[in-house]
Amino acid sequence: MKTQTYHVNSDDSPTGDGAGDAPLAPAVARAAAILDLLATAAISGTPPPTLSDVARRTGLPKSSVANICAALLQAGLIRRVGAGFGLGRRLAELGGAYLSTVDQVQVFHEVTDQLGIVSAEIAHLAVLDGLDITYIARHEGRQSLRIASEIGRRLPASCTALGKAALATLPPDDLHERLRSVGTLPTLTPRSHRDVPSLLADLELVRQRGYGIDDEETSEGILCLGVAVPRGGPDEPRYAVSATLLKARADEALTSALVADLHRLARLLANPMAREVPAGDATA
């Protein structure tokens, strides 16, 4: 996670990292500098900075640091950790409020571009709606592959990798209720599931291995791998991500690398504030 660094000049006129930044109120700039310092300490695993540490490392007067830390403590933005200070629970609450406003589609495109393996393939973000999935974002990749997955298109979840990944996360009662009145499942190819028992058996495999597979169930000659996005709360929609490729290319090495990247993508969609994954890093 990259943290913004604020510099406080000796004349109390704060400046940002770039030219033309609007000046901040001195107290706000100093509080931001202190929070930035505590965040850096938390990420690096160094001991919580003491009052003297904060004053020395920010270049601020110790009396000012004491007053600002007292205000931050009262607001719940920082907390006492032994003789030092750490980030407070109020920051987690504010972060949660921020995450509720994050545009999943924008984050999907930003994160997919970072991932060296999945970025080369067609990737999708979809949301589960009943027993269907709706595509809400598509990353084109660098492969010559034409498939019908326009934004806004709905497909049976039982046929798609990301649909099955999302269905597999449903509580048993919810899944049973959705399937209760289903006789025959919709089919797109001869390999699509036709009945509920075969779908339920597949969903159990999805839970065991951690991802869904569409093995020519949507389009002949096409393999898709899908991973559910962890949910932030019970009312949050069930998102899932997938990678699509020609089945002839899907050897074990490529499949394993794509699944690993999809899990990273899903984790970062669930928590965009997590540490960024460098492009091409297959070990993060």
Asked whether 154 and 161 are in contact (CB, 8 A), the reply is no
Domain C-terminal end among 31, 63, 97: 97
Pairing of strands 154-156, 222-228: unpaired
pTM of the model: 0.63
pLDDT of residue 86: 93
> Tokens 């007053």 identify what position?
67
Q: Are residues 119 and 252 in the same domain?
A: yes
Are residue 176 and residue 246 in the same domain, yes or no?
yes
Among 62, 97, 132, the domain-final residue is 97
Q: Is the pLDDT of residue 151 over 60?
A: yes
Same domain, 50 and 141: no
CA distance 153 to 243: 17
How many angstroms separate the CA atoms of 133 and 107, rounded? 19
Domain contains 277: no
Task: Please give the distance of CA 157 from its chain centroid, rounded to a whole number.
Answer: 21
In-domain check, residue 276: no
| Band of pLDDT at residue 12, cut at 50, 70 and 90 | very low
Average pLDDT over residues 171-182: 93
β partners of residue 57 = none
Average pLDDT over residues 77-81: 94
Q: In this structure, are 120 and 31 located in the same domain?
A: no
Query: Looking at this protein, which amino acid is placed at residue 71?
Result: A
